[in-house]
Structure 1
Amino acid sequence: MLQHLIFFPVLLPLLAGIFLLLPPLQGYARRQRVAVFLVNALLLVSAVLLLQQSLQHEPQMYMMGDWQAPFGIALVNDKLAAIMLLLSAVLGFAVHLYACAGDDQRGPFFHPLFMFQLMGINGAFLTGDIFNLFVFFEILLIASYSLLIHGGGKQRTQAAVHYVLLNLVGSAFFLFGLGVIYATFGTLNMADMAYKAAQLNSEDIALAKAGGLLLLVVFGLKAALLPLHFWLPRTYANTSTPVAALFAIMTKVGIYSLWRVHTAVFGEHGGELANIAVGWLWPLALATLVAGIIALLASQTLKMLAANLVVVSAGSLLLTIALNTPQATAAGLYYLIHSTLMSAALFLIAGLVQEQRGQAQDRFVRSRPVNQPALLGGLFFIAALALVGMPPLSGFVGKILLLQAAGDGSDAAWIWPPILISGLAALIIFSRAGTTLFWRAQGVSQNQVVAHPLQITAIILLLLTSPAMVIWGGALTDLSLSAAYELHQQPLPVIPANMAVPEVLP
C-alpha cells in the first residue's frame, strides 16, 4: 500500500469529486460535507506520511501503468513536493470547515468542484513531467472558473471572464512552449530534461531558451509576476470568501513550477541554458513587489488588502528565485508557507466582517459596528501582526530569512529596501483598516449575524500555524534547507516506487 501512497493526493479528491456528483450524495448538503471532511482528513494523513517517506528515502517516482521512465506518466515525491502537499491539505481542511457554515450552499456543485480543485493543485505538486503539469493546471483552472462565480453576481462574473481569458492565453503559450521543448530535448520528463540540459547541441540552444522563456511567461502569469498580475486583486476580492482563501495557494503553484523548471532544469547545472530566467526575474520581481506595495496602500476594502498582500508575497518569493541559491530557496519556502496560511486567514476574517457590517461590508469607511468586535478584532490583530512581520510570529522569521538569504553584497542593496518597505506599508494599511473597521464605528448594528463556530474554528486553525512555525522553527528551517539543496543539486536517481525491479534514471 505504501508504494502506491504517492498517488493518493490525486486519487482521493478525484474519486470524491465524481461520487459527489452521483446519488446518494448529490443534493444532500450534510452528506457532502461529511464526505469531503473525511477526504480532507485522509489527505492530511497521506501528506504527513509522504513527508515522512521523503525524509527517510531519496526522491521516488511513481510510474502510472508501469510504463518505463521517462515516457510514462510520472509522479514524484521529494521533500519539496511533500511540503507543498501538506500545505495544500492544511489549507483545504480549514477552508472547507469555514465553507460548511453555509457558504457552500450559495451555489451548486461547490463540494465536487472543491475536490477537483485540490486534485489539480496536488497533481501539479506531484508531477514529474511538464506535459502532465499542463494537464493538472487545466484541471485546477477548470474547477477555479466555476468556483470563482460560486454564488453568482455581476462583479464575480466580470472578474471570472477576465480570469478565464488570461488563463486561456496562458494555456496556449504553455502548449507552444511544450512543443518547442519537446523538439529540442526529446522528452518532457523533468529529471530527464535536467540530465540532458547541459548536453544539447549548439544549434538547439536558442530554441531551448525560447521554450524555457515561454514557460517563464506562463508560470509568471500563474505567480502574479508583473505585468501579468493585474487580474489577481479584482478576481480574489470579488469571489466568495472560502474560494478566495483557497486561491491563496494558486500563485504558489506558479512559484513552485518556476522552482521545478527554472531552478532544477534550467538551473546552475544547465550548461549554456543555466539561469536563463534570472536576468528577467530580477527587474520583474522587484517591479512586482513595488507595484504590490503601492496597491496595498491604495486598498479600500479588507479583501482587496488581502489580495494585494498576495501580490506582495509573490514579488518577495520571485526575488528568492532570482537569487538562485539554496539559502534563498529555503527562505522562500518558509515564507511561502507563512504567507499562504496567513493570507487565507485574512480572507476568512474579511468574510466575517462583510457579513456583520451590513451595506458597508468590508470597506474602509465609518459604519455601524460588527456584532462581535472583540472576537473579530482579536483575530484581525493576530493576522495583521503575522502579515506585517512583527515578532514573535512567523512573518518576522520569514522576513529575517529573506534578508539573510540576500547576503551582504549588491543583492542585499536591491532586496532589503523593498522587503522592509513592504512591512512598513502593511503596518500603515493594517492600522488604518483596524481603526476604521473596529474603532470608528457609529450607531448600532442592524443585523444579528454572528460568526458560526465552524468559521471561528477554521480561522483559529490557520492562525495557530503561525506560532507553530516559530515554536518548531528550527526543524522547519532545516527541512526547508534540505528540500532546497535537493532541488538545486544535480538530478538524483529517481526510483519508480511501483516497479517490482526498480529502474534508475541516468
Structure 2
Amino acid sequence: MLLELWRVHAPVLPVVLPLATAVLLLLLGDRTGGTHGHGGRAVARQRVVSGVSALLGLALAVSLLVRADAGEWLVYRLGEWPAPFGIVLVVDRLSALMLVLTAAVALPVWAYASGGWDEQGRYFHAVFHLQWMGLNGAFVTGDLFNLFVFFEVLLIASYVLLVHGHGRERFRVGVHYVVLNLSASGIFLVALGLLYAVTGTLNMADVGQRVASLQGAEAALAQTAALLLLVVFGLKAALLPLGFWLPATYAAAAAPVAALFAIMTKVGVYAIIRVHVSVLSAGAGTVASATADWLLPLALLTAVVGVAGVLAAHSLSRLVGSLTVASVGTMLAGVALFSVQALSAALYYLLHSTLVVAALFLLVEVIAAQRGPAGDRLQPAPAVREPALLGLLLLLGAASAAGLPPLPGFLGKVMLLQASHGLTPQAWVWAVVIGVGFASVVGLARAGAIVFWHVEPTPTEAWPTAGRPGHLLAVIAALLVMGGAMVVAAAPLRAYTLAAAQQLQDHAGYVRAVLGDGPPSLRPYRGTTGSPLHTSPEERP
C-alpha cells in the first residue's frame, strides 16, 4: 500500500518535500553566531535537517527520472479536479532531468554552505529549500499560471539569498535584480492575460490544442503573448539584450548562492523549451512562428556578447558570470534550430554547463581567499598556497567550459554542430560555436596565467573563508567529477536527451496524458465565435 501511495503521489513530492523542510527549519529556529552552546546546536540541527532533505530530494528526483524514462507522462491532479479546470503537475523526461540536475547542484551547495558560510546570515537553509521548491515547481507544473507562481516563489527566495551575508555591493545589485524581475513578472501577467483571452485556458496541454486554430485578431494577440513570454523567459535565462544584469549580480553573490543560481538561468531555458518549442508549436501555426525567427539570432549574439565579457573581465567571478551568459547562448542556439537532434544536444550541453559553472563559482571563492587583498581580481597578488591542486581544478573546469576534448563541453558542442549540418543557418552556428570556444580558451588562459604565474613575493594571509579548505575543495571536486562522468556516460545520456526531445514533439501523447482520451472537455467560459463575450445562455454554467 505504501508503495502504491508513493507511486501515485510521487509527482507532487518534489514540491512538498522542500516546502515541508523549509517550514520545519523555520520552526526549529536559527541562532547563528557561534560554534558552541545554543547557537552552535541550532545551526547543527539546521544542517542535519537540510542535508537529510537534500539527500531525499536527490533520491526522489532519480526515482522520477527512472519512471519517466519508460516514456510515460506522470500526471498528478491536485484535488482530483480534472484538467484543464484544476491544477495539474506533469513529470516527463525533460522535467525529471531538470529535477535531477537541480538536486545534483543543490546537494553540493548545501555541503559547501554547511562548512560555515551558512552562519553569516539568518535562515539560510530555510530559504535555500524554498528556492528549491520554486525550482522544482517550475519544472513539474502543467499550467502557465502556476509557472508564474513558482517563478515568484523561487525569485523571492533568491532575493533573500542574494543579500545573505550582507554587504553594500550585494544590496546595490540586489535592488537592480529585484526591479528587473518585478518588471518581468508584470509582463508575465500581461502575456498570460492575453493568452487566456484568446484561448480561455492556461493549461499547457489545452493551450497547445487551441492556439493552432486561432485566426485573425486572436492569432495576433496570441503572437503578442508569445513574444512577451519570450521577453520574460529571456530575462530569466540572460538572453541578449536582457542578460547584462547577470555577471555583476552573480559576482556580488556569495559563492554557494552564485553556485545555486547556476540553475536559475536554466529555468528560463527550460521555460522557452516547454512553452515555445512544445506548447505553442503544437499546431505549427502562426503563433509558433512568432518567436522562431527571433530566437536563433538572439542566442548567437548572446554567446558572442558573453564571451566578450570573458575576455574583458577584471575579476574571476565576473569571468564565470560571463561564461554563464555564453553557455546560455550556445544551448539556446540548439533550441532555436527546432529539431530533435539539436534539442538533444542542447539538453546535454545544459547539464554539463550547469555543473561546471556551479563548481567554478565555488572555486573562485577558494582561490580568492588565498590571494590576500587582491581577492578574485585579475591582478598580481601573493601566490596561492595550493597552486597545483587549485590549478588542476581550474584547468578542468575551464577546459570543459571552453569545450576542449575529450571533456563533456566538447561533446555537447560537437553534437550541436552535427545537428546543424545541412540546415540553413549552419555556417552561422559553426562560426559562433567554434569562435566562442576559442575565445573562451584565450580568456580563461589569461585568467589562469595572472592568478598562478603573476605573483608577488609577499606571504599570503590566513584562510578567511567559511569552512575547512579540504571540505570546500572536496565539494568542488565532486561537482567537477559529476561533469566529467558525463563523458563516460555520454551514450546513455545522449539516448535519454534524444528521447526527451522526441517526447516533447509528441503533442498528441501529452494531451492524452493530461486531458484524457475522451472528447474535448467542456469549456463553459468560451463562446462559439471565439470570444468570451459571445456566449449563449445555454453555454454558460
TM-score (norm. length: structure 2) = 0.90
Structure possessing the higher radius of gyration over alpha carbons: 2
Structure 2 CA distance, aligned partners of 1:24 and 1:433? 42
Q: Identify if the C-alpha distance between structure 1 residues 368 and 8 changes in structure 2 by more than 3 Å, giving closer, same or farther.
A: same
Aligned position for 2:3: none
1:289 has 2:303 as partner = yes
The total of aligned residue pairs comes to: 503
1:11 aligned to 2:27? Answer: no
RMSD: 1.7
**How big is the shift at 1:275?**
2.7
Deviation at 1:442?
2.0
Which blocks of at least 5 consecutive residues in structure 2 are unaligned?
1-5, 33-41, 521-541
Instruction: Show the 5 A alignment for 1:409-488.
Output: 409-449=423-463, 451-488=468-505
Q: Give unmatched runs, 5+ long, in structure 1.
A: none
Q: Which residue number corresponds to residue 250 of structure 1?
A: 264
Higher relative contact order by CA 8 Å / sep ≥ 6: 1 or 2? 1
1:50-109 per-position Cα deviation (integer Å, ceiling 9, x unaligned): 001101241121111111111111110000000000000000001111111111111111
Query: For 1:182-211, what per-residue CA distance to the aligned partner results, in whole angstroms no more than 9, with x for missing partners?
Result: 011111011111111212243311111111
Residue from 162, 179, 196 that aligns with 2:193? 179
TM-score normalised according to structure 1 size:
0.96
Aligned-residue offset at 1:448: 2.8
Instruction: Give the equivalent residue in structure 2 for 1:115.
Output: 129
Report matched runs for 1:298-447 at 5 Å: 298-447=312-461
Distance in 2 between the 1:270 and 1:26 partners? 56
Post-superposition CA distance 1:103-130 (Å, at most 9, x none): 1111111111100011101100010000
Relative to 1, partners in 2 of residues 1:37 and 1:424: Cα closer, same or farther, differing over 3 Å?
same
**CA–CA distance in structure 2, aligned partners of residues 303 and 488 of structure 1:** 38
Question: SS at 2:243's partner residue?
Answer: coil
Separation of aligned partners in 1, 2:459 and 2:264: 36
Q: Distance in 1 between matches of 2:192 and 2:377?
A: 44
**d(CA) in 2 for partners of 1:25 and 1:164?**
25
Deviations 1:241-291 (A, max 9, x none): 000011011111001000111011222623232232111112222221211
C-alpha displacement of 1:445: 2.9
- C-alpha distance 16-26 of structure 1, shift in aligned 2 (>3 A): farther
Equivalents in 1 of 2:335, 2:289: separation in Å?
Answer: 10
CA distance in 1, matches of 2:392, 2:358: 16
- The answer for the alignment partner of 1:238 in structure 2 is 252
* CA positional deviation for 1:481: 0.5
3-state DSSP class of the match of 2:69?
Answer: helix
Q: Is the 8 A contact 2:208 2:282 kept in 1?
A: no
> Identical aligned pairs, as a percentage?
46
State the AA in 1 paired with 2:25. Answer: L
Distance apart, 1:142 and its partner CA: 0.2
Shift of 1:496: 7.0
8 Å contact 2:31–2:122 — kept in the other structure? Answer: no
Q: Which amino acid aligns with 1:442?
A: E
- Worse-superposed segment, 15-24 or 396-405: 15-24
Q: Secondary structure at the match of 2:355?
A: helix
Name 2:223's counterpart in structure 1. 209
Moved more, 26-35 or 78-87: 26-35
What does the per-residue CA deviation read over 1:316-355, in whole Å, with 9 as the maximum and x for residues that have no partner?
1221222111111111000000000001111010010121
Match of 2:7 in 1: 2
Quickly say closer, same or farther: Cα 1:434–1:493, change in 2 above 3 A.
Answer: closer
